Structure 1
Amino acid sequence: MQKRSSESRKIALSGVFGSLAAVLMLMGGILPLATYVAPALAGILIVPVAIEFGIKTGYVLYAAIGLLSLFVVPDKEMSLIFVFFLGFYPLLKASIERMRSRAAQWAVKLAVFNACIVGMYGIILFLFPIGAVVEEFESMGIPFTGLLLLMGNVTFVIYDVAVARIIGLYCARFRARLMKMH
């Protein structure tokens, strides 16, 4: 009976956080800035599931939200940002932070960020072009695109620190309350 209760809890909590993440992704099309904010928040919602039930469960939830968002979210750029980086990064962050050297951690984090973002926009621009994004990049030019990538790196560093603090807050304040509910 205990095994069944544990599985039910896992499914219920994963469903709640997955639903919240999916709703965030769907509502992200309302505001232009939400193209980046909605996937960032949706990715953070996967973390409690990974903490409570293991990293594999977190990745399964990420895959489910990613597939769902690719099919139902109208803003495909936002869906791809979730799938290519912001959905799995909060889960990957824990593995990277096991490295002893802080410099090595940041080097790996920045390398992963840049590889994912450049790869994603390469696919959007050249393999499966999204018209509005292609027009936007064509009008910017190379120097402004480089500046945009630099600003993206700065924003990523801020996001990384924010994710660490949100995870700490969850563990310190909300985890015990959430587990008492079940």
Structure 2
Amino acid sequence: MHANQIARGGMMTGVSVALLYIATFLSIASWAACMLIGFIPELFFLTGQKKTGYLVYAATSVLSLFLLPDKVIAVLYAGLFGLYTVLRFLFERIPSRVLRWVCKLIFGNIWVLIVLWCIRTGFLPNFPIQSDFTALIVFIAGNLILIYYDLCLSRIFPGLRGLAQRLQNNSFK
């Protein structure tokens, strides 16, 4: 790993943590901000700098867990949006399209089940679920959101390739 890669990774980690800190004050838009900040490690994956992408994700996750006043935002980035970007990069290397989607759906369903468990036990009191039918709707909606999010990412990431190349070539002037 070169010094310029480390410097770029450090800058993008700082930007990510600062944006996550701002996102803690945005109430409902904080989830959207987490999704967008989850794209930042992908800039390094697109240019073949896998180690830097992993380190940006890991450093942003750890720093946000320590520094952010709203730990829900930090957990959303560290455990869902940032992690999904990293795992998606690994899943895309699987040759079978069906196996790729199985892995993605397993990850998504684990998160939906964790959210349903948190709602049922009272960790998320803002989302009361009274019946099993409502839980089923949340489960189905979570899967649909995951599929839509992945399809959007498959369109967004190739568009980010030019930005990632400019970042690597120092052509931000």
The TM tier, using the shorter chain, reads 0.7 to 0.9
Corresponding residue number in structure 2 for 1:3: none
What TM-score do the two structures reach when normalised by structure 1?
Answer: 0.78
Write the distance in 2 (CA, Å) between the matches of 1:145 and 1:77.
21
In structure 2, what is the Cα distance between the partners aligned to 1:56 and 1:122?
34
Quick check: 34-43 or 52-61, which moved more? Answer: 52-61
1:36 corresponds, among 15, 31, 34, to 31
1:180 corresponding residue in structure 2 = 169
Alignment of 1:13-24 (within 5 A): 13-24=8-19
- Aligned positions of 1:96-135 closer than 5 A: 96-119=91-114, 122=117, 130=123, 133=124, 135=125
Gaps of 5+ in 1: 1-5
TM-score of the aligned structures, taking structure 2 as reference length: 0.82
Aligned partner of 1:79 in structure 2 is: 74
Pair 125,62 (structure 1): closer, same or farther in 2 beyond 3 Å: farther
| Aligned equivalent of 2:155 | 165
**Change over 3 Å in CA distance of 1:125–1:44 after alignment to 2:** farther
**Does the 8 A contact of 1:20 with 1:42 survive in 2?**
no
One-letter amino acid of the structure 2 residue matched with residue 169 of structure 1: G
Q: 1:124 to 1:70 in 2, by over 3 A?
A: farther
Q: Which has the higher contact order (CA 8 A, sep 6+)?
A: 2
Deviation at 1:77, TM superposition (A): 1.9
Root-mean-square deviation over aligned CA pairs: 2.5
Please identify runs of 4+ aligned residues in structure 1 that moved more than 4 A: 120-126
| TM-fit CA distance, 1:111 | 0.7
Structure number with higher helix proportion: 1
Identical pairs, percent: 26
Q: SS of 1:98's equivalent? A: coil
